[in-house]
Chains A and B, each alone.
Chain A
């Protein structure tokens, strides 16, 4: 079985642009979470989605948004990119909302120039 897949793996954008990152969870998993990992730091929680509804949001500005589709895949959108948005964006897949184990994808490395 495929694990959590994220696309693209690498991305370079210019300040002010918009970006969309994609995540496909493990088959059968209904919950997807997004994390931002700035170089040299631990991942920070951005969003959690379950059954297409937002179930948690971290301390990120409104420039960050996400959605989950009927097939449980998810997109993370970031508008008006800043240099500080450069990071590894990780998607985590869980079976259900209260699952105690999250499976992480390889991440999307976003560089804003």
Chain B
């Protein structure tokens, strides 16, 4: 079984500052890792995913994440945030052999202030 822990429920940050949203996972099998963003009253949009290969993954809207197998982490980063990045961010894991069933963390609310 897999589980995901997002270490911060809320992250307030000023506009143009860097941000890191932390995610740790546990699994007894090989996994794929994902970050999704959810804007108010909307569904989930995929930001980026790690399947294999390079541990640094670049996604949309200037976000990137680094897969660290030894620390079982997949932290999301952006060097300079905008007001429009204010949203809920979810880290998710899927077992390689589990056909796309996603296990989500509790979410991190990113609040960007002017």
Q: Which residues of A contact B (CB under 8 A)?
A: 4, 31, 33, 35, 40-45, 48, 50, 55-56, 58, 90, 92, 94, 97-107
Contact = CB atoms under 8 A, between A and B. Distances in A.
Given A41-B107, A100-B32, A100-B49, A33 B100 contact: yes
Nearest to B98: A56
A31 B94 CA distance: 15
Contacts of B45: 104
A103 to B, nearest CB: 8
Contacts of A106: 41-43
B90 interface: yes
B90 A43 contact: yes
Interface of B: 4, 32, 36, 41-46, 49, 51, 90, 92, 94, 98-107
A29 to B, nearest CB: 11
Given A41-B107, A42-B105, A98 B99 contact: yes
A34 B103 CA distance: 12
